[in-house]
Amino acid sequence: MRIATWNVAGIRAHIGALLEWLRQEKPDIVVLQETKTVDETFPRLELEALGYNVEVHGQKGWNGVAILSLVPFDEVHRGLPGDDADEQARLIEGVFSLEGGVVRVCGIYLPNGNPVDSEKFPYKLAWMERLHSFVEQRLSFEEPFILLGDFNLIPAPIDAHNPDGWWGDALFRPESLERFRSLLNLGLVDALRAVSLEPNYTFWDFQAGAWRRNAGIRIDHLLLSPQAADRLENVTVHKDVRGWDKPSDHVPVEGQFTF
């Protein structure tokens, strides 16, 4: 079973690259972020033509998440609980039945939080605290649970080409990292860190020649419950996709599991 995350930076703008990657790799389940469109204009038919079941949680202009799956959905949940006034589409979860049992896959687009002196930063922190409660509840099921997506968090200095340049940014500052560690401390495993102690970047800015200079950061993560971590075989960062024509600024990150 291969389960991937990809921030597509606008699904209508990058549908060609998405379809090409899916045709090449045929992952079983993919969570998408920054689809940037309402459900009515989501390119569902092209994805269904490749055999994917499609569930979306869209929003006009920005945000927006989705799950593509070759396995039928048992359940779908949209939105992060804990604030009825929050209208930003940043979380979608699917539950799937496999031969070996159930697997729960939750895709997130965690708020960026910049600039830190705006209301966006406290929104990020509050969103992380709601996520903490949500994950705590999910872990109580004691089943394979995969929380993956664009976390907008640089876990450690090794996860940035220029960590000093990022320090203080909403992606890499104490208040953000404290909450990220607290989330991990619930009992989640950072899958890529578990299989590799090398620098692995998943995002290169469109600006300032970041890709050419390999000035990347690792902000797209797969976090695993113990029951999922036991089944982890490997993680692949599809770095080559960043060099395609008209790419997203993020690349797909894929976990391989024995279920």
Annotated binding site for Mg(2+): 7, 34, 150, 152, 249-250
Binding track over 205-224 against DNA, x by CB under 7 A: xxxx--------x-x-----
**Which stretch in 36-44, 73-81, 181-189, 193-201 sits in contact with DNA by CB under 7 A?**
36-44
Nearer to DNA by Cβ, of 18 and 229: the residue is: 18
Count CA within 13 A, CB hemisphere, residue 68. Answer: 27
As annotated, the binding site includes: 7, 34, 150, 152, 249-250
Q: How far apart are CB 49 and DNA at their closest, in Å?
A: 20
User: Known catalytic residue: 52?
Assistant: no
Q: Which of 4, 9, 232, 253 binds DNA (CB under 7 A)?
A: 9
| Contacts of residue 26, Cβ cutoff 8 Å, sequence gap at least 6 | 2, 70
- Does residue 249 bind DNA (CB under 7 A)? yes
Instruction: Give the separation between CA 112 and CA 39, rounded to whole angstroms.
Output: 23
- Does residue 241 bind DNA (CB under 7 A)? no
DSSP-derived secondary structure letter, 162: S
Category of 32 on φ-ψ map: left (φ > 0), alpha (ψ -120 to 50) or beta: beta
* Token representation of residue 138: 């999910």
Q: Which of 3, 4, 11, 148 binds DNA (CB under 7 A)?
A: 11
Single-letter amino acid code for the residue at 214: N
Q: What is the DSSP string of 42-75?
A: S-HHHHHTTT-EEEEE--SSS--EEEEESSPPSE
Q: How many CB atoms lie within 10 A of CB 100?
A: 12
Q: How far apart are CB 171 and DNA at their closest, in Å?
A: 5
Residues 228 and 257: beta-carbon distance below 8 Å: yes
Nearer to DNA by Cβ, of 7 and 227: the residue is: 7
Which residues of this protein are in contact with DNA, per CB under 7 A? Answer: 7, 9-14, 34, 36-38, 60-62, 111-112, 114-115, 120, 150, 152, 171, 203, 205-208, 217, 219, 246, 249-250
